Amino acid sequence: MDLLIDTNVILDFLLKRLAFAKAAYVFECCEQGVIKGYFTVSQSTDIFYLLRREGATAIQANALIATLAETLQPLDNSVEDMNKALTSDMADYEDALLAQTALRANLTYILTNNLKDFSNSPVTAIGYDEFEHHFQLLVET
């Protein structure tokens, strides 16, 4: 299973938010190599900004992003991804850019806790519960 992990899921994990346990499970699966998790290079700037806004120092935010890149595979965004996102049916540009990058990389899913934002995504978006269901099917086969 290859999936792009949305910024909100990454922040659930890094900031130990309400859904931390579910996000931690996803990251554990990635660390163990059972699934391949990805994030985009463009997400790193958003993550850095949001970590700083939540009180992390620049050094702490840099370290967290470096650790993130050790656990998840970074994907470059392309000009083609950008152009397709600008003309997509998705309302939010950042989400559209993630979806187009995931599509180009032939990823199976986008893991998010904002499914409604990905209703017009060209890549199927799943939430934590669906992830656990798909992961169980993966383990059983």
Q: Is the pLDDT of residue 136 over 90?
A: no
The dihedrals phi and psi of 36, each to the nearest 5 degrees, come to -110, 120
Average pLDDT of the residues in 107-119:
95
Average pLDDT of the residues in 9-37:
94
Cβ neighbours for 90, distance < 8 A, ≥ 6 positions apart: 96, 99, 117, 118, 120, 121
CATH code assigned at 80: 3.40.50.1010
What is the tally of structural domains in the chain?
Answer: 1
Find where tokens 């699966």 sit. Answer: 29
Question: How would you classify the pairing of strands 36-40 and 2-5?
Answer: parallel
**In which domain, by residue range, is 67 found?**
2-140
Q: What is the pLDDT of residues 84-105, one digit of tens each?
A: 999 999 999 999 999 999 999 9
